[in-house]
Structures are given as structure tokens and as C-alpha cells.
Amino acid sequence: MAWEERGGRLYYYRSVRDGERVKKEYLGRGELAETIAHADETIRRHREERRAQEMAEGEILEDLVAPALEVREAARVLARASIVAAGYHRHRGEYRRERGA
Amino acid sequence: MNGALELPGDVKDRIRELQELEKRVEAGEEGARRELRRAVRESTPMVIARCADVSGKSRGMLSEAVSGGRPLIKEALEAKAEAMRSEIAGEDPTPLELLLAEDITNQWLVQEMLGAFYAGQFQRREHKGESEHKGATISGIAFLLKFLLKMQESAHRRYLAAIRELARVRKLQAGAPAVQVNTQVNILGSG
């Protein structure tokens, strides 16, 4: 969304998505164009605030999950190490008893 | 990352050491298996005890998040998680089985938490929806949906992996002399 100068005058254009393409929509100048530009700016700011809020919520979720992930990793490593220590080896994703182990 | 709820550095070092040793055994290095056996014997009690501690507190945090601060729901969830954990661990579990049972319970709780958050988001949006610009609401939902779906998929994968791991350990333990580990694990209800 932008004001563009043509022949010394400012005209308001807005980018509109049409499928995969982005088209420029002409909205003119004057009071109406200014009102639309103001509304577009408010919506854009609102979206940005919402996005920032959602990202912050996402970080909270990740923080909540993080300890469970650490325990998962420790359990996984310990389980595999115990299996290998007990004389098994991995063969195509399956564990087989090592000969003579 | 929540600094207060991380595994301590020495535990992480032990885990890395076990990973390295396992790789050396898989690579066929002579004497590595003996070394791994020693490391498993020495590290298991400490790793399991610290994990149990982090795990208990983590369950408390997750239950709190799912319940949305409602004490009855939190209590019910914790009781369900505890029942689930002890049922999965079974009678006379080895410390490793106990840790894996704990892990499965945690992953289940993570899924519950994400599900509750997901539902809560929609409820909140429906409530606020009228005053919002339609385009902004749709783009917001798309962003959040993507993020939550990705987290839920990973959580579900981890949940299944944890179940598989416990089944594998039990199956292989039945056919091999287990590594002898003596440890006392104090499991906290919710931290």
C-alpha cells in the first residue's frame, strides 16, 4: 500500500492478491483515498500486533514443552545405550543380538 | 527455554557421553561396549533421578497450562497423569522403564496442552470476531493453525516414539541380562 507521485500529485494504490499474482489497485486521491489509506494502515498495524502476540504465545508454548523434550531426549539416549550395552546392535532400524555378546 | 527447568549441565554431559560411546560401539570399536556398559551403570541413577525431578515439575506446569488456572481441573489432570504413569510402568518397573513411562505421560500431557490451547484460541477468536476485520482474523488463524499443527504433529510423533521405546526395552530386556542398576527415584506428584 503506497502513495505514488504522478505529475506532481499523490495517488493511493493498494496491493491486492489475485491467486498467485499481486495486483495494484488504484484508489485515487483526495479525502476518500486518505480515509481508505488510514483504514488500511490501521488494519496493517492490527495484523502486525496480532502476529507479534501470536509469536509471543508460540514462544510460551515452546517454553512449556521444552522440559518434556529434554526428558524425551535423555530417555531415548539412555534406552538406546542400555540396549547396546546389553549386547545388541542396530540393523536397519531393528536391534539384533550381537554374536558372542 | 525455561532456565529453571532444564536438565543440569552434568546430566547433559553424561547424555552426550553415552551417545558418543554408543556410536563407537556401533562403529565396532574394540572395548567400546565395555566402556558403554560402565557408563550406563554409572550414569543411569543420576540421569534418571534428575530427569524425574524435571519431569515432575514439567508435568505440574503442563497441567497448570491445560487447566487454565482452574484448580479442580489441574488436580484431576495430575491424578490422571499419575495413574497413567504408574499403569504404564507396571509392577516392579526397572528405573529405565519408570523413566520411559514418565516420558510417555509427559508427551501425552503435551498433546493435551496443545489441544486445549488450540480450542482456546478458537473460542477467543469467536468471542472477539465481530469487532475484527475479517481478513486479519483469517490470516491470524492461518498463522496460528500452521504453528499449532506443526507442534501437535511433533508431539504425537514423540508420544508414539516413547511408547515404541518402552516396548522395545521390555522386549529386549526379556531376552538379555539387564544392566544392573540400583537407584532410588523420588517422584514428585506435580512439583
Phi and psi, residue B70, nearest 5°: -90, 115
List, in order, residues 6 or more apart from A43 with CB less than 8 Å away: B133, B135, B136
A24-39 confidence digits (pLDDT tens): 999 898 899 999 999 9
Chain centre distance of CA B75: 19
List the beta bridge partners of residue A26: A13
The three grid cell numbers given for residue B32, joined into one nine-digit string: 567400546
The three grid cell numbers given for residue B45, joined into one nine-digit string: 541413577
Q: Is the dihedral of CA B40, B46, B52, B55 positive or negative?
A: negative
The b-or-e profile of B119-133 (16+ CB within 10 A means b, else e) is: eebeeeeeeeeeeee
- For residue B177, the model assigns a pLDDT of 52
Question: In terms of Cα–Cα distance, which of B72, B48, B53, B159 is closest to B109?
Answer: B159
Query: Is residue B172 within 8 Å of A88, Cβ to Cβ?
Result: yes
In the block, cell 526379556 appears at B174
Q: Contacts of residue B107 in chain A, CB cutoff 8 Å? A: 68, 72
Distance CA A82, CA A74 (A): 12
A74-83 confidence digits (pLDDT tens): 999 999 999 9
B126-185 confidence digits (pLDDT tens): 666 544 545 545 555 667 778 888 999 999 999 999 999 999 999 887 765 545 555 565
Given a cut of 70, whether residue B113 has pLDDT beyond it is yes
Q: Contacts of residue A78 in chain B, CB cutoff 8 Å? A: 15, 18, 40, 43-44, 47-48, 96, 99
- For residue B8, the model assigns a pLDDT of 87
Per-residue pLDDT, averaged over A4-18, amounts to 90
Task: Round the average pLDDT of chain B to a whole number and report it.
Answer: 82
Given a cut of 50, whether residue B87 has pLDDT beyond it is yes
Q: Contacts of residue B45 in chain A, CB cutoff 8 Å? A: none
The three grid cell numbers given for residue B100, joined into one nine-digit string: 520411559
Cβ–Cβ below 8 Å for B168 and A79: yes
- For residue B121, the model assigns a pLDDT of 75
